[in-house]
Amino acid sequence: MNGALTTASSACALDRNLHRVLTREHPQRLVQPVAILRPRRRGQTLDENHRLMRSNPNMHWLGWVVIAFALLVGGWLAFDGAHALSTGDYVTPSSGPHEGQLGPWSQFVSAIGIEPRSGMMKAIHLGLGVVWLGVTLCFALRKPWAWKGMLACAILALWYLPFGTLLGIAQIVLLLLPPLRSTERSPG
């Protein structure tokens, strides 16, 4: 499929392309098979969409590191926030010297006037976590706006000491590196 697809046969050609990927004739495309199913933009022909998909179907490995960090922090924020809203308290150590205590983030939010165990703070945990997970999915699907969303979520999580801060800084640094900075302008 090196030439341009005709409008009449483009759907069949995409089906053949999908079949080749699934039958492992082109294993390099197995890295991100979801790119084959990328929806077209308004007014975009199937030929243009096909060309965009083939231009850079694979994400740089640093992108997968950013995704892993975002899944860790965003997933934990969503889980802990949902747990706190449903049971009344966050997940805390059940024994030892820190039994029942919140992490260092609670001192930070207390200093700016927010009660760490308030319903608002629990909703912030859940909201930021869910949004971050959604943005992470869009980043993995190579949506053009998702780079900025990932950067914003990493910045917004800097208050979540210590892990949100450490992994947030790591994500910010990685997102600003040239291999990932170019995903900001990649076709979506």
Domain ranges of the chain: 10-55, 61-185
Residue of 180, 185, 188 lying closest to 66 (CA atoms): 180
* Alpha carbons 161 and 106: distance in angstroms, whole number: 8
Q: What is the pLDDT of residue 19?
A: 53
Q: What is the pLDDT of residue 44?
A: 57
How does pLDDT run across 104-146, given as a tens digit for each residue? 999 999 999 999 999 999 999 999 999 999 999 999 998 989 9
90 pLDDT exceeds 60?
A: yes
Q: How confident is the prediction for the chain on average, in pLDDT?
A: 79
How does pLDDT run across 155-171, given as a tens digit for each residue? 999 999 999 999 999 99
The pTM of this model reads 0.67
